[in-house]
Amino acid sequence: MNKKDKNEGTDIAGRYYETEDYKRNDQLSSGLATTHEQVSDAYMEGQADAVIEDVVGVDISIPRKGYDE
């Protein structure tokens, strides 16, 4: 890995969502905008339970339990 690649990775890792990401066409902006939308939707729904949404329409609950020794 050369020095240029190392700096690029640091720039990407330090990037945060910005409202302009919805209008940009690069992959990073698209991913940040999509993730922001998903988090916003989950927050607004108030969903705190862990559920896997099955393709057939059956929700599979993920139980919250501690570590058993």
Confidence of residue 44 (pLDDT cuts 50, 70, 90): confident
The share of the chain scoring above pLDDT 90, in percent, equals: 7
Instruction: Give the model's pLDDT for residue 38.
Output: 87
Q: pTM (2 decimals)?
A: 0.51
Average pLDDT (34-43) is 86
Alpha helices in the chain (DSSP H): 3-13, 27-45
Q: What is the pLDDT of residues 13-37, one digit of tens each?
A: 788 889 999 899 999 899 899 989 8
So where are the chain's domains?
Answer: 17-45
Please tell me the distance from the alpha carbon of residue 49 to that of residue 16, in angstroms, as a whole number. Answer: 27
Please tell me the distance from the alpha carbon of residue 7 to that of residue 14, in angstroms, as a whole number. Answer: 11
